[in-house]
Amino acid sequence: MIVGLDVGGTHTDVVVLQGKEIVRKVKVLTDEEDLLKTVCFGVFQAIQGLEVKSIERVVVSTTLATNAIVQEKIEPVGVLVASGPGINPWAYVIGDHYYPVRGAIDHRGIELASINDSEILEIGKELSYKNIHNLALVSKFSVRNPSLEFKMRDLLADNFQSVTLGHKLSGHLNFGRRIATAYLNAAVTQISRKFYNAAKGCIEKEGIQVPLEILKADGGTMAQEVTEQYAVETILSGPAASVMGTLTFADRTKEEVVLDIGGTTTDIAILVDGVPLLKPLGIRMGGFNTLVRGLRTFSLGVGGDSWVRLEGGELKVGPERKGRALAYGGPEPTPTDALVALGLGQGGQKQRAIEGIRRLAERMGESLEEAAEKVVSKTCALILETVNALVERVNQQPVYTIHELLKGRQINPSGLIVIGGPAKELAPRLESMSGWQARVPPNYDVANAIGAAIARTTCEVTVLANTNRRHVIAPEEGYVDTIDWRATKKEVIRIAFDLLRKKALRLGAHEENLEMELLEDNEFRMVQGFYPVGRNIRVRAQVKPGLIYPYSEAGA
């Protein structure tokens, strides 16, 4: 059996799967002030009466890191940046404790200037005096030579609780994105560490003795033990769970839009031939461009619990949320209440919903039914407007799926896959208003938890070889070795796949789910004084995002 948990803003869903069958599903209200209590209660409810020794996998998707960043509840971070000449480090200021320092690495990975030990130690003392416990250490071109980041770490690490090194987070070159990614990783590391360690304790208390896995932004998972190094990769895991939960239901001959209509937001994604779109360079979070690879999703501030009101005589739905729907004890009318008033929503206190919508109807000069219909129609219209805008933006840029670049392809969706609490009620209206076929998968109400449960472990590695200098490195993995001056690209690719396999297994993958592929293999001949002096080889490989066996037989 495998267990999937999705901790959403309104509900936390838990599913237990055996083979391709759901043996238990639980939906509990999320306590935003105590997510851990919610997780423990959800797991307890889901496994009652089951043979816990048969549980082989537990995966959690949570809004923890995302909410901390968006709500600016992150921890303070000391950011030390060695940019070297030719660039203004002040152009990348982030956070309240940002320090440009001496030291330089050139584009070939050669150290031009070392750091100044006294300068680094003085900054460390200042940060300790300010009670800063987290560090982000970044040097330009560190993916080609991380020596400056290591030197800073060795001088400071003993006095800080978490230290993030920029080169460990991605093999891509982009100095500004690397600084932002390292900063955000350091800012959420301790929050994530405390939560996931406690969540691990919850499942162990229930007798479940398996590693805890965490869903990442790219729709893959990683082991809880490595979240301290890669905590930032868990941002946007909620929308990623939405996508992964629909893949077994997707039409592999069509372009479809996934709509996950939750209580607080509607998460939107696009599938091309049953495969999600990807942002390969990195997603944007908290106003910063990052190097966190993620599925291409968009969260609209419209959901079942969105605040419905009149402003200047105009009907407004969201993006604010005042709490739960009136039917569930909330203070203000919502789209959920409109559905309940129309006899479409189930559960809750129907009379409270009716009274709230009736008060709104009186201000609108409409009947109860007319006002409720307008609320539902407005909600659907806002969602579809956002879908159309997203499709237009996607078509203005190169289109990447999790597997490949679709050169010159224009996206033209012909269907909707609708999941989330009100999916069954809203799907017919969305279909009527858009002209696209709207489908609702089985177990649509817990699709996110299913997506978390069946997502495979993903990762990538970048390997750089310089046959003139006779060395090969994979800075993210701490790999450095010598290489023969006659080494070929084929040999470097073999090194990359070997490192990728080891990394995936370390992150929690199983051999049967290691679907590896080459993403990039470039080779440049180097010339000095009109004579060839060797080759510069760059190779990048990944474990494909997708579903674990046997679910991968039906999905991407």
pLDDT at residue 467, as a whole number: 86
Instruction: Tell me how far apart the alpha carbons of residues 115 and 492 are, in angstroms, rounded to a whole number.
Output: 31
For the segment 529-540, what is each residue's pLDDT rounded down to a tens digit?
666 667 888 898
Q: Where are the beta strands (DSSP E) in 32-161?
A: 57-62, 78-82, 98-100, 104-105, 111-113, 134-139
pLDDT at residue 555, as a whole number: 41
Task: Name the pairing type of β-strands 415-419 and 255-261.
Answer: parallel
527 confidence band (pLDDT: 50, 70, 90): low
Lowest mean pLDDT segment, chosen from 96-100, 163-167, 227-231, 493-497: 227-231
pTM of the model: 0.85
pLDDT at residue 76, as a whole number: 95
Pure H helices in 444-547? 447-454, 489-506
Residue type at 149 in one-letter notation: E
pLDDT at residue 536, as a whole number: 84
Q: Which residue has the higher pLDDT, 523 or 233?
A: 233
For the segment 341-386, what is each residue's pLDDT rounded down to a tens digit?
999 877 788 999 999 999 999 999 999 999 999 999 999 999 999 9
403 confidence band (pLDDT: 50, 70, 90): low
Q: What is the Cα 307 distance to its own chain's centre?
A: 26
Residue 516 in this model has a pLDDT that exceeds 80: yes
Residue 417 in this model has a pLDDT that exceeds 70: yes
Task: Report, as an integer, the average pLDDT of 105-129.
Answer: 92
- Contact between 457 and 218 under an 8 Å Cβ cutoff? The reply is no
**Block residue for tokens 């291409």:** 296
Task: Report, as an integer, the average pLDDT of 70-88.
Answer: 90
Q: Which tokens is 450 given?
A: 């299913």
3-state secondary structure of 486: coil
pLDDT at residue 287, as a whole number: 86
Instruction: Tell me how far apart the alpha carbons of residues 348 and 350 are, in angstroms, rounded to a whole number.
Output: 6
Neighbouring C-beta atoms of residue 520, cutoff 10 Å = 13
- Contact between 26 and 464 under an 8 Å Cβ cutoff? The reply is no
Q: Where are the beta strands (DSSP E) in 76-131?
A: 78-82, 98-100, 104-105, 111-113
554 confidence band (pLDDT: 50, 70, 90): very low
Which residue segments constitute the domains of the chain, with CATH numbers given? 78-186 (3.40.1360), 249-445 (3.30.420), 456-553 (no CATH)
Instruction: Tell me how far apart the alpha carbons of residues 556 and 554 are, in angstroms, rounded to a whole number.
Output: 7
- Peptide bond just before 550 cis, omega within 30 deg: yes
DSSP designation for 402: S
Average pLDDT along the chain: 89
What is the DSSP annotation of 410-454?
Answer: PP---EEEEESTTHHHHHHHHHHHH-SEEE--TTGGGHHHHHHHH
Q: Which tokens is 49 given?
A: 């009466």
Q: What is the Cα 268 distance to its own chain's centre?
A: 14
118 confidence band (pLDDT: 50, 70, 90): very high
Task: Report, as an integer, the average pLDDT of 99-112.
Answer: 91
Q: Which tokens is 498 given?
A: 């070997």
293 confidence band (pLDDT: 50, 70, 90): confident
Residue 194 in this model has a pLDDT that exceeds 80: yes
Beta-carbon-side half-sphere exposure of residue 326 (alpha carbons within 13 Å): 22
Residue 556 in this model has a pLDDT that exceeds 60: no
Residue type at 365 in one-letter notation: G
- Contact between 151 and 202 under an 8 Å Cβ cutoff? The reply is no
- For residue 138, the surrounding DSSP H or E stretch is strand 134-139
Rounded (10°) angle between helices 147-156 and 117-129: 50
pLDDT at residue 531, as a whole number: 64
Residue 44 neighbours by CB under 8 Å, 6+ apart:
206
Count of positions (residues) in the chain: 556
